[in-house]
Each structure stands twice: as structure tokens, then as C-alpha cells.
Structure 1
Amino acid sequence: MNMKVIKSENCLCSCCMEEHEVKTVLVTEKATFKNVKVEYIASYLYCDVAEELYMNEKQMQENDIHLKDTYRKKEGLLTSDEISAIRAKYDISQKDLCIILGWGEKTITRYESHQVQDKAHDTILKKLAQDPAWFLSLLNDAKESLSEESYRKSLEAATALYEKDQDSYLRKTIEAYYAKFHGNRLLHGNASLALDKVVDVIRYFAASDQITSLYKVKLMKLMWYADALAYKKRGFSITGLVYQALPMGAVPIAHNLIIDLKGVPCEEVEIAEINAYHFSLNEKISFPSLSDADKSILDIVIRKLGKMTKNEIVEFMHKEQAYICTHLRDEISFEYAEKLQI
């Protein structure tokens, strides 16, 4: 029998009922669980006198978990430790997690000890692990059923996770807005949506000392001109953004979300009792997602339009064939880039 000795100690051997050196060993076991054959590592005590393996109560429990966790891994289910880790990240007890999920109060205890969860519950637990925003909504719904202290601890933990992952949520939301435009090259400029490039384009403009008073309206126009000019020169845009015609000119779809992306140097300021969004970047930075060709196009846009005021660039945009030939609030086709004024 192949076994690995991990510990030896003198104690009363419950196998032969004599005191001697008892070894703790690991053995590879084969078993069938729920009609699935599994191979796992089991822990035993070994008696040299009787030359027999035996288990204490703790080992029985651990070996049972090892068997079932091996099965879980084989079937793509969360292991008992992974379920415990979900609770730990949200700082929530087994009982309270059952409360917010609407499950029996011992369900999580069983999943972490001896019972294998079904696929429906496993799917819910996986979503919980990946989605702090969903956890927060469930937590809020169950607030009255939790103690004030339990609610506070889990709220703090989940909020911290949500804030850490906020950019990821934002990107997924923006990508969802753009899903319907997939395959329409005249609307996305023959380029896939590249949010890293979107951020770097904004940062590039914000870092330029050749652009005056860079507020949101002006920024949106500069972005459209950059993508339109790129399409005109090489047949594909820089960012893959889709623009629509609004009263003040071209604006990318989901623009309000785009300016909240991580790395966008946006500051909300109050001007004449109106909130405005100002973009400025003074530090020395790199723009890793932009190619030299991209930067060359951005430099042309900066040189041609950077000194224009908001009203001047809006008026200039209103003279573009792309704007004149597009109904208000419709998406702007890149086919008009050939007649670009710059």
C-alpha cells in the first residue's frame, strides 16, 4: 500500500489499545460518488503493531469533505472552501447568508460540511461571488431580518468590493449598450469597441496644452473628429465608439458612463450654478493603448480644433455633412467621413 507519512507521535493507539508511535499518513483512495468515479487523498492513522489503517472522528469528517470536494471539482461545482470564502469576503455568517438568499437556515452549514449543493444553488453562489452589486441588493432587501451589527459588517465589506470592481461593472454596461451595433461597420467605424483606447484618447486630449477649456461638449466633438479622421485616412476608427447626432453635435453612445471610467481625468465643477465636467491632466503619463498612427491623428485634431471655444466647435460640427444628413438622435454613419472639413 502506498502511503505518505506526515506525522508520528507516541500515544494510545485505539486500534491495538497499546501506547506506541502512531503515524498519520496520506493515502490515495478511489470511490464512486453519485455515479461518478473520483480519486482523492484521505488521511488515516496507522498502527505498526496491527499493520492497519484507521480513522479518528476528525479524519472521518475531513475525508468525507475531501471526497465530496473532489467530486465537486470534477463536476464544476464550488468546493466547501470556496463557499466559505464567499462568506468571508462578505463578512457574513452561515445563518445570515441563508437569510438573504431565502434558504433554510442550515443550508450553508451543510454545504460547508457534508452536503453537496445542487447546480441551481451552485449557480446562485457563483453569481454572488462575482457580483457584489447583487449581494448589496439582496442584503438591502433582507436588512430587517438581520442584526444591525451583521448588516453593517456585510454592507462595509460588499461596498468595498463593489467600489473596487466598479470600473469592471461600468465597462460591462457600456459594452451592453454597444452590443446591438456589432457588425455595423458604418456606425462603429469598422473597429471593435476599445475602452482602453477611449480612456487614452480622453487622457491624450486632457494632457494637451494646445487645447483650451476642455469641457464635456468640446471633448465629445474632438473624439468624433478623431474617429472620423482615422476612418477617412485608414478605413477604421480609433475607439470603435458609435456616435449619435444631438442638438450640440456628435456624442458617443453611453457618454455619461464613459466619463466615469477609471483613468478618465474628469472633475465636476459648478459654473453659474450649473454643473459642468472639466477634463485636465497635468502629470506626465503614457498612453499604452494608442499607436503612433493614432497619436498622429489626434495631433491633427488638436492642431485644427484645440483652440476653438465650445460654441465655435459646435457651430463647426453643425456644418459637417455627417451632422446635416443625420436625423436628430440617430446614429451618425462614418460614410460621411470622406467629406470631413479637416
Structure 2
Amino acid sequence: MNEKMTFCEECRKDVIYSIKNISMKGTLKGEEYEFVGNKVTCDECSNEVYVAEIEDENLKALYDAYRQKNGIISLEKILEIPQKYNIGKRPLSLLLGWGEMTFTRYCDGDMPTKQYSDVLQRIYDKPDFYLSLLEENKRNLKSQIAYKKSKRTTLEVIGVKETVSSKIDEVINYLLVRCEDITPLALQKALYYIQGFYYAFMGSFLFTEDCEAWVHGPVYREIYNRYSRYRFDPIESNDEFDVSVFTDSEKAIIDSVIQNLCCYSGKILERFT
């Protein structure tokens, strides 16, 4: 049998029930609201019976009526926001400067205040507003990978093509994460060896940029200009890096250079080149 059943207190047994769509009234926060809900009755005695999932639906309908009358963002839109911008519930709360579980509670059905609702509604309606929040508050996030993924998706929503990092930029960012106290000179040497070993094993160059012969050895001019202010000091490192940008072969060669050569100082590597 496919009929749904529930316990009827009048009949004192499990019975088949019927559902009828009717106009209902309910009180929320001291005010009465009218909404369309479902009345469940016993097929044998016609008395009203209790079905938990139907009661939950009626309660949601009451909350929806409250949201509509008071200008509170709908639960459906709240649930769409993390998917729309590719960000988790907790990271979104942190991004907005809220308690870590605040947005999660809203997704579970808790009613946001009008102030928080207005922020969420604006985020839902205006991707450029969300992007500005993402840029301004990215330090609130525990992971910069979360920031990068959300930014990439948001730019796609807006219709702006994200500037793609060149391969040499990706390698530099990875080196800054993996290597401790890497100076501009050591960075140049690491890039030179990565390019050379990649060509030796793969038969093609990893970077499109050409290095130049300088007094201290091969130099990528644009990279030199970018980090010249550090002189002999270590370059500030990034906290995290998404290694998925590399193929297995690329990562294997880069990691080998890091392990076997980046343990030396820039001056020692200069003698090698």
C-alpha cells in the first residue's frame, strides 16, 4: 500500500489520512498572520490528525508569511547564497563579521534580524556588492583558498573574466609558500632550475617568459623588478596555495627543485649557475 498513515487519537489506531489545502492563521512574535497551509484529517472519522512533516510545512508557511510582511529575506534565497558565490556557510559568516554559526542558523530556519536580512538580500541581488565585501573582508577568512574560489565564481556570475595568472606567477606563489626565507636572488635561481629541468624532462618550457644573462646569472627581468625592494631580505610569503593549478609532472619537478636546491642560499646557487 502506498497510502500514508498516522495515528488517530479518536480511532485509537493508525489510519490513512487526507490532506486539504486551506487558509490558516497563526501567531508569531505577538502578531497574527494568515497563510495557506495543509489540514490533515482521518479518513475514517474525519477528525484532524497530527503528521510531523505537514506541521513543519505549515510552520514554514507561517514564517514565510512573516518574512513577506516584514521584508525579511526568504529561506530559499538564504540557501541559494552559498551556492551562488561558492562559499561555505561558516566562511560567509566570518566574511560578514558575524558569529561563525550565525548564517548556518539562518539556513536551518532561524529568522534573521531586519538589519542582517537587508545585508543578505543585497548580497543575493547584487554580486558586485558581495565582491566588494569579499575583497574588503578577505582577512576574516581562515583560508585564502576559500577567498580565491569564491572570487572566481563571483566574477563568473558578474560576467567578468578573471585575469589568469601566468605559469611563472603560479610557481612563484608556490615557492613562497614552500620555501622559508627565499630572497629575490634565490627566487631567480629556483625559477631558472625549474625551467631547465622541466625542459630536460618534458621537452618544452614551463614558462613563456625568457630569462636574461646578468652579472649574477640568469634573471627574469619582470620578476626582478617586482621584488627588487626586498634586496637581500626574504620575500614575504603567502599562507596557502592551491596546488591543483599544476599537473602531476609540473608539481613533481618543482618539488624536486625545492627539495634538492632551494635548501641552498642564493649566493651558493649563484656559483652553480
**TM-score normalized by structure 1?**
0.40
**TM-score normalized by structure 2?**
0.49
